[in-house]
Chain A
């Protein structure tokens, strides 16, 4: 999946062949110096917490609390990373269970949203549906409300049907949030694939669904991959529903589990930092893989209609 995304992105015909350095020089030296200075300041401000997190995760505890703070001369340890996965007495730690839960919940909810959303997007793109615009707006409107607003009603509903503190409950709510997103984003991608492929295939002896599967679907794969990654990142990062709807260690996902590490009498900052690094890594990797679609996906929606 990841490979095909990268390939599709690199075949982008629009290329700027001017080297960036020359473009900068063309605008005058004074301005470029100012630009670089401002960008550097911005980068330091933005990246410092990340760097500090990574440093903290490999520092020993007494270096973490050292005053003045030690930037470079500390002893490197991998102990915190071991603590993330292994419980103090041996066996699996609660955090590692939470990570596994996150993988399951994010993976299954994304798969569900994709399986439901892609055919829906195809239908909205291809067929004359009654009140199509209103339907699409209604679908989008379910994303208007922030999760905090709906979490209480959802909580009450879930308690009635017994979905409180279950992975299935989280999977369903994340899928519900991702389906509108998938439909809207995929509709843009489906619109780009000419309907004539399917018409031609139907004349060649395929049914509508076969035509979709054999001709349109392969052309949609890069778009599906990008959309799925967005959905995955949303489910992976989601905090509000996770903390309200789950409580037991065996069900909890990583975000509330990591947050739960803070708040005791002493906080093991090394462990918090190491868990955060482990948590951030998959998102960074996926975001890097779909970086071009990230821009394309966002601007696509902005330009059309």
Chain B
């Protein structure tokens, strides 16, 4: 087991595309580290550079104490699970699992023992004699995970391993992966574009955009204080309301009259945007105390909650998350009130967190 250090990673393809502009990561030993970002943000390229499947243009990668820049993938002592499971189609499950071990040249008895152990861990017993085309997607992915396990590598690299599974199975596998990683204590780098996956799995999350790291933090840090407008818009469903505000009388005031508590040490001379989570707002009776007048544009009753879209005279409509018990008619005049602590505030021009 080992931590992974990525320093000033830069990857430029021969055709001129820059996949990774500048990435620094410091992944701790035994950590489940998630790289999250939209497609084309460089997360998969970074992962493939760590695996050794791509050669970075500049920058260093260390696994444990070893500088692995010039090591081929096989000598980096890592295992990777792919979005498309990449099980060898002509081999039965048993042989697929044994394959990397045989490639290492382990004695037969040990190969058998390790395959059995991995099969038990991933509950593959009945599938051992089948070929990949006779396995369902979920089963194939469990075999792929088991194939990563048998190696007992220093780190696991996961490239969107659950993307091809249906929603229910995905949730199950998520739990399974998290549990497994906790049990084994092996460092895991997990790439995904699914924020729910990132939030539920990661010890820490790195949000990537356009080949750069926008923020690194625990799921709660990333959720509560997104480091940039991009992160604010990317994490959370529905996403954060970005409300243009001005500082007046020691409060943050929006165009529509919404009043927010100000964070300390606000710069005064810039145009500011406050990031307000939908659950930090509430819909009230019109004219209620501290509320701004508004009008419900539409509402989604999701069963466990209601997402109300409220026009309060600001530039954009805001989304409000309410318990499912509230009742209001669409189009009805309502009040809009902020309930949480000071929101994170961003500079409009730099798009970065200022307070």
* Chain A contacts to B: CB under 8 angstroms: 128-132, 194, 196-197, 199-200, 202-207, 215, 218-219
Contact status of A203 and B15, CB under 8 A, knowing A197-B86, A219-B89: no
Residue of A nearest to B76 (CB): A203
- Inter-chain CA distance A206–B53, complex, in Å, is 12
Bound CA–CA A199/B74 (angstroms): 10
Kindly state the separation between the CA atoms of A131 and B15 in the bound complex, as whole angstroms.
Answer: 6
Interface residues of B (CB under 8 A from A): 13-15, 17, 48, 51-53, 72-74, 78-80, 82-86, 88-90, 99-100, 103-104
A202-B73, A203-B78, A204-B74 are known contacts. Are A194 and B84 too (CB-CB below 8 A)? yes
Q: Give, as a whole number of angstroms, the nearest-CB distance from B139 to chain A.
A: 17
- Contact between B51 and A203 (Cβ–Cβ < 8 Å)? yes
Do residues B89 and A203 form an inter-chain contact, with CB atoms below 8 A? no
Nearest B residue to A208, CB-CB? B72
Given A129-B14, A131-B15, are A202 and B86 neighbors across the interface (CB < 8 Å)? no
Tell me if B74 and A202 are in contact (CB < 8 A).
yes
Q: A205, B74: Cβ atoms under 8 Å?
A: yes
Q: Which of A128, A199, A207 has the most CB of B within 10 A?
A: A199
- The answer to whether A204 and B103 touch across the interface, beta carbons within 8 angstroms, is yes
| Other-chain residue from B15, B72, B80, B103 in contact with A128 (beta carbon distance below 8 A) | B15
Pick the residue among A132, A196, A205 that contacts B82 (CB under 8 A). A196
Contact yes or no, A203 B73, CB < 8 A: yes
B84 touching A202, Cβ below 8 Å = no
A194 to B51, CA, bound (A): 18
Q: Does A197 lie within 8 Å of B15, measured CB to CB? A: no
- Give every chain A residue within 8 A of B103 (Cβ-Cβ): 204-206
Nearest-CB residue, chain A, relative to B81: A200
CB distance from A102 to the nearest CB of B (A): 37
Given contact pairs A194-B86, A199-B53, A207 touches B72 in the complex (Cβ within 8 A) = yes
Within the complex, the shortest CB–CB distance from B141 to chain A, in Å, comes to 13
In the bound complex, residues from chain B placing their C-beta under 8 Å from that of A219 are 89
Report whether A202 and B100 are in contact in the complex, using a CB–CB cutoff of 8 Å: no
Task: Kindly identify which residue among A132, A205, A218 contacts B100, using a CB–CB cutoff of 8 Å.
Answer: A205
Once the chains bind, are B88 and A215 in contact (CB under 8 Å)? Answer: yes
27 A-B pairs (CB sep. < 8 Å): A128-B13, A128-B14, A130-B14, A132-B15, A194-B86, A196-B82, A199-B48, A199-B53, A199-B73, A199-B80, A200-B86, A200-B88, A202-B72, A203-B51, A203-B52, A203-B53, A203-B73, A203-B79, A203-B100, A204-B74, A204-B99, A204-B100, A205-B104, A206-B74, A206-B103, A215-B88, A219-B89
The chain B residue sitting closest to A207, CB to CB, is B72
Across-interface contacts of A204 in B (CB, < 8 A): 74, 99-100, 103
With A196-B83, A200-B80, A203-B52 already in contact, 9 other A-B pairs whose C-beta atoms are closer than 8 Å = A128-B14, A128-B15, A129-B14, A197-B88, A199-B48, A202-B74, A203-B100, A205-B104, A206-B103
> Are the C-beta atoms of A196 and B72 separated by less than 8 Å?
no
B208 to chain A, nearest CB (A): 20
Residues of B within 8 A of A194 (CB): 84, 86
* Chain A neighbourhood of B89, CB < 8 A: 219
Scoring B17, B74, B78, B85 by chain A CB atoms within 10 A of each residue's CB, the highest score goes to B74
- Using Cβ atoms and an 8 Å threshold, which residues of chain B touch A200? 80, 82, 86, 88
CB atoms of A203 and B84 under 8 A apart: no
Chain A residues near B51 (CB-CB < 8 A): 199, 203
Shortest distance between the CB of A109 and any CB in chain B (Å): 31
A203/B14 contact (C-beta < 8 A), A196-B82, A197-B88, A218-B90 known: no
Contact assessment for A202 and B104 in the assembled complex, using a CB-CB cutoff below 8 Å: no
Given the complex, which residues of B lie within 8 Å of A207, measured CB to CB? 72
Q: Give the shortest distance, in Å, between B282 (CB) and chain A (any CB).
A: 48
A215 contacts across to B, CB distance below 8 A: 88
Complex Cα spacing A200 to B78, Å: 11
